Chain A
């Protein structure tokens, strides 16, 4: 019970910090606005009707931007901000444990990325009859969780907010661009199949093409494996320096 109270307190602190940081909060809003704006622009030529590949492209764009851009940046920048303002050390010497800080830090960004995923699904215009909603929510949740853990890695390595954005870029390039441009090259498509964002993109393509989607063993292995690897990488970094190197 005591742990839950502390965890809730950390989550509250994080929520206040994130919700009042314009730079961070613009991400999720712009993601939804981007999908909606593209939908309007593409729809102008066709009287509002979008072809399945276009809808797939919009959904893929929204989800990739959300998972990578928002997930990594929201968590990473929030930790970096705490380091920059010297509040992280205060929190860690106030009886909050490492894992309480970890869960408290990712709880709300995880929730928010999932909400934005669903919003993007609505806004993209894909018919809900074509969507396997439980699979979408499950894969979306797993991908959001991985992106939040990667955000923690970004935060642990970053010295300040600017530095956090810089560190997040390579992750964004790999996890966002490779699946998005997977159609352009067979090699990229093969690599994409082994990325958690690639699993999501493949799922959205199935929805748009109205082909039944089920989570394949390889998809599940990719999601579980990348979650495990990211948690392991986080633990190694945390064991070495804690949240802040002295």
Chain B
């Protein structure tokens, strides 16, 4: 296993009867890194998380988590990881505090840490409230609070902001960036390319069980920026013009700049979504 790597997948494949769900997946997650698995529904993101967290066995290949094969995970490994999925349940008949204190006992975590985590997710005022009466966003924050309660070394997030309102999603993004600062490694699956671009140090684009592209979001976008173009809005005009990267256009833009005629100027490198479309011919979010 590579030094500093907390998680390493080597040639993982998974077959369900006749359907091949994952094909030859390899990737590495290091300390303090956010790795994004980006793909549409059914691409194999959740299957990958289940294999890594020992809930499913791969058909072939090797998944090593904290130096241990994921097929042989024991309690000592589970104590060092946190898992959040879109169907991570909470005990609805318990209060917010009880939900966390039960797991705090399992992980031998102090009550002070529960208070701290509740503050981090903005749920301090709801600790006596039955979890069943929380809104969807609050429930998701509670799930996240529970997943980071024991300060795991790796946090697995399966579509953590799916279906959440923008303010909750932003709060969760902020928390993830803070956790990365603290050295936590985060494995994030999402079909939200904006989320991936904002949070991830490294992304793998997954389509029909295969990684079709990987690298940092910027690297990937620049790699596919083959037809360089610029969007310009000139003074006194309401229509944007698009110019290709040519020597003539470069001169033209330079002149406009010298004459202070440009109101707005943007380069038009592709987004992760357009790269995905270009590589697979399919959109990230199926309509």
A: which residues have CB within 8 A of B?
Answer: 2, 5-6, 8-10, 12-13, 16-17, 20-21, 82, 85-90, 93-97, 246
Contacts and interface: CB of A to CB of B under 8 A. Distances in A.
A12 B102 contact: yes
A93 B54 CA distance: 8
Contacts of B87: 86
B103 interface: yes
Given A90-B88, A95-B79, A97-B75, A21 B106 contact: no
Nearest to A246: B56
Among A2, A13, A95: residue with most chain B CB under 10 A: A95
Contact of A246 (B50, B81, B94): B50
B94 A16 contact: yes
Given A16-B98, A94-B78, A246-B50, A8 B105 contact: yes
Contacts of A86: 87-89
B106 A9 contact: yes
Interface string B59-93: 00000000000000011101101010001111111
Q: Give the size range of B's interface with the partner.
A: 20 to 34
A90 B89 contact: yes
Contacts of A8: 105
Q: Please classify the interface of chain A as helix (H, G, I), strand (E, B), loop, or mixed, using the class held by over half of its residues.
A: helix
Given A21-B93, A86-B88, A95 B50 contact: no
Nearest to B95: A16
Among B81, B83, B93: residue with most chain A CB under 10 A: B93
A20 B93 contact: yes
Contacts of B81: 93
A96 B91 contact: no
Contact of A93 (B53, B76, B90, B98): B53
Contacts of A90: 83, 88-89, 146
Complex A-B, nearest 5 residue pairs according to Cβ-Cβ distance, in ascending order: A86-B89, A95-B78, A87-B89, A9-B105, A95-B75
B92 A85 contact: yes
B93 A94 contact: no
Given A12-B105, A90-B83, A96 B75 contact: yes
B126 interface: no
A5 B107 CA distance: 9
B91 A85 contact: yes
Contacts of B91: 13, 16-17, 85, 87
B162 interface: no
B90 A87 contact: yes
Contacts of A95: 75-76, 78-79, 106-107
B17 interface: no
Contacts of A94: 78, 103, 106-107
Contacts of B78: 93-95
8 contacts: A16-B102, A17-B91, A87-B91, A88-B89, A89-B55, A90-B89, A95-B79, A96-B106
Contacts of B93: 16-17, 20-21
B102 A9 contact: yes
A20 B56 CA distance: 32
Among A9, A10, A88, A93: residue with most chain B CB under 10 A: A93
Contacts of B55: 89, 93, 246
Contacts of A21: 93
A95 B54 CA distance: 12
Nearest to B83: A93
B227 interface: no
Given A12-B102, A93-B53, A93-B54, 13 more contacts: A5-B106, A6-B75, A6-B106, A16-B94, A20-B93, A82-B89, A86-B87, A87-B89, A88-B89, A89-B89, A94-B106, A246-B55, A246-B56
Nearest to B92: A85
B226 interface: no
Nearest to B98: A16
Contacts of B264: none
Nearest to A2: B108
B90 to A, nearest CB: 7
A9 B78 CA distance: 16
Contacts of A96: 75, 106
A200 B90 CA distance: 39
A6 B90 CA distance: 18
A101 to B, nearest CB: 11
Contacts of A82: 89
A88 B90 CA distance: 10
Nearest to B89: A86
A27 B91 CA distance: 22
A8 B83 CA distance: 22
Nearest to B143: A90
Interface string B261-287: 000000000000000000000000000
B148 to A, nearest CB: 13
A13 B78 CA distance: 19
